Chain A
């Protein structure tokens, strides 16, 4: 009796099973959705909590949580174009959230992900992005434990949006936060600045330049855990993403109520990034980074920190770039190579290429 055809419901005609593009039916919750999930996502995301197919992930934390705290961070990722030198939206969506959890001093363990896919999106690209997410997860040592897909009508989303939420465990007694910077601390950045924005600007193509600059998109949790294993009094960790180094440090000066003084000549910037900035009239201190961390810790620990950071490929160009000087006023100062000083403020609005 097994030969009898199975009718689920009166559908006429049955939907085509093989699509090269995401159709609205892939968001129906029915067979097409399941097919998309098994063909594209489960092939690459295979943590048991996810593949069991329940409504939520069941994770046993009991053995891990004695004295520990749970750190949670969430982020939506929108980037044009979806693929760029040095990464893609998938790698970005994993690393962005992994790094946010890592910057709390926590060890990122689990990720949830939700996809908003525009009708018509090529399935081969979706799979490429899923694969990229899976390899970023493997690199970071985390697992995707819950996921969701939704399909919007054509024109209601720009290709693909990915939201991720990360969970990590923070050891007892560790306090790393934006309000912990203290006078006498050194300010370190783990590598050169601005590469992500320049790579994206180049990939968009409308500014018509070629630089060979790659996005720095990378998971930094191994870098931070190596640092924290060696140095137990790191005060602040923060990733200078949108708004760049300057905006992020201004936030920290306000949270901690301190003045930070940067030494312009010591801030690492790759030559092609500098050249592109000169050409377009952009300031590298305000460009986004997706694989860099700011580390603030007691000055006496700075050289040890640099030594540890440099052993990780993502910290090769780590440098001390400034110091926390006092608590009179919350502001960010930049010492130029001429001995002059200027005040750096947050980025106002969108950074635009200038003609003048």
Chain B
């Protein structure tokens, strides 16, 4: 039954049937936000928005973890990476995100030891095999990525790996949804909740949001048929005037989520206010280290202090990330701002809404 990831052709018939059904069911204009870079990427890669009727408008929310990482965190990362004796490790897509003057690639070109890892556990291994170096991992990402970082820190603590630390920059989805729905110019009628975030956290924490803001939220997967299933379920709710949390990704997500992972997260992290690039500070939307793990905090260990930095004034990243504007609405889109010289965060990552638009813009 369960199968490996396969090429998208396998589900094309089902996907087209779902698209037919969406066209049949949708009678009014609806704005649906996916808040997951992986979903944005898949929508653009397969041109799924082209399968939808014109009434259905997909808004690409602040779901790209490298895009929402604040300038200050990036500046701090650059300062730490450039210290002697440091091996700075990061997920690959973070290396190209520009700070105020350079990115981690630039730091590497000027002599910093910056390495791409696939997993934070790899960073711990690098620390073990380089006992004379300080190994720092740039802890970015949403709830999906947090268990891997928590488990790595628990492993590092248990094995007394003292030359390992993290730069904490993780963010949480529900506070971001609350911030978007609370905005006076909110345009979003419903949300696709990120399937892999919910694999970890379950979806009970979305129920109060659905109720308070009368906003349907559907836990959705990533393959074309999974995405259209989530969209169809969302439209069903919108058309019938219901607003609850539904699960369209049952093969992976349960209501309670992964309890072991949640316990690990709570052991290591606590909610803190966090700055989102292009959006601003969202209360209790980030994770900081609990005191039992504060020895692993690279900010403390390296005593760095990145002063607050202003973002580009032309770039409308914040409006794009909250669904108030689409990437082509930006005066800089495709001109001053391209994937090779990004002004704003959403042009940086391949999942960033602007980069996805730029790369996969419709043929006509």
Q: Do chains A and B touch in the complex (CB under 8 A)?
A: yes
A14 interfacial contact with B, CB 8 Å: no
A229 interfacial contact with B, CB 8 Å: no
Residue count of chain B within 8 Å CB distance of chain A: 53
B110 interfacial contact with A, CB 8 Å: no
Say yes or no: B361 contacts A343, CB within 8 Å.
yes
Say yes or no: A352 contacts B95, CB within 8 Å.
yes
The A306-353 residues at the B interface (CB cut-off 8 A) are 333, 336-345, 348-350, 352-353
Determine the distance from Cα of A279 to Cα of B119 in the docked complex, in whole angstroms: 12
Say yes or no: A354 contacts B349, CB within 8 Å.
yes
The B275-317 residues at the A interface (CB cut-off 8 A) are none
State the Cβ distance, A342 to closest chain B Cβ, in Å.
Answer: 4
Write out the residue numbers on chain A whose beta carbons fall within 8 Å of the beta carbon of B50: 340-341
A275 interfacial contact with B, CB 8 Å: yes
B213 interfacial contact with A, CB 8 Å: no
Determine the distance from Cα of A22 to Cα of B100 in the docked complex, in whole angstroms: 44
User: How large, as a class, is the contact surface on chain A?
Assistant: 20 to 34
Say yes or no: A355 contacts B8, CB within 8 Å.
no
The B156-179 residues at the A interface (CB cut-off 8 A) are none
A265 interfacial contact with B, CB 8 Å: yes
A30 interfacial contact with B, CB 8 Å: no
Q: A278 and B12 in contact (CB under 8 A), knowing A342-B47, A354-B350, A356-B349?
A: no
Name the CB-closest residue of B to A356.
Answer: B37
A280 interfacial contact with B, CB 8 Å: yes
Say yes or no: A352 contacts B46, CB within 8 Å.
no
B9 interfacial contact with A, CB 8 Å: yes
B96 interfacial contact with A, CB 8 Å: yes
Q: A338 and B224 in contact (CB under 8 A), knowing A206-B122, A208-B118, A275-B4?
A: yes
A269 interfacial contact with B, CB 8 Å: yes
State the Cβ distance, A240 to closest chain B Cβ, in Å.
Answer: 18
Determine the distance from Cα of A348 to Cα of B350 in the docked complex, in whole angstroms: 10
State the Cβ distance, B234 to closest chain A Cβ, in Å.
Answer: 19
Say yes or no: B12 contacts A356, CB within 8 Å.
no
Write out the residue numbers on chain B whose beta carbons fall within 8 Å of the beta carbon of A341: 47, 50, 362-363
A207 interfacial contact with B, CB 8 Å: yes
Picked from B8, B37, B349, B363, the residue with its CB within 8 Å of the CB of A337 is B8
Write out the residue numbers on chain B whose beta carbons fall within 8 Å of the beta carbon of A269: 7
Say yes or no: A338 contacts B51, CB within 8 Å.
yes
Say yes or no: B141 contacts A356, CB within 8 Å.
yes
Say yes or no: A355 contacts B93, CB within 8 Å.
yes
Say yes or no: A352 contacts B359, CB within 8 Å.
no
State the Cβ distance, A344 to closest chain B Cβ, in Å.
Answer: 8
Say yes or no: A355 contacts B115, CB within 8 Å.
no
A84 interfacial contact with B, CB 8 Å: no
Picked from A265, A280, A342, A350, the residue with its CB within 8 Å of the CB of B362 is A342
The A186-235 residues at the B interface (CB cut-off 8 A) are 206-209
**Can you report 15 residue pairs joining A to B where beta carbons are below 8 Å apart?**
A269-B7, A274-B5, A281-B350, A336-B47, A337-B8, A337-B12, A339-B16, A340-B48, A348-B338, A349-B96, A352-B92, A352-B95, A352-B116, A355-B140, A356-B93
User: Given A341-B362, A356-B37, list of 19 further CB < 8 A pairs?
Assistant: A206-B116, A265-B9, A269-B7, A274-B6, A275-B4, A333-B363, A336-B8, A338-B224, A340-B46, A340-B51, A342-B360, A343-B361, A343-B363, A344-B359, A345-B359, A348-B338, A355-B93, A355-B141, A356-B351
Interface residues of B (CB under 8 A from A): 4-9, 12, 15-16, 19, 36-38, 41, 44-48, 50-51, 63-66, 91-93, 95-96, 105, 115-119, 122, 140-141, 145, 224, 338-340, 349-351, 358-363
The 5 closest A-B pairs by CB, nearest first: A340-B47, A352-B92, A348-B339, A341-B363, A353-B92
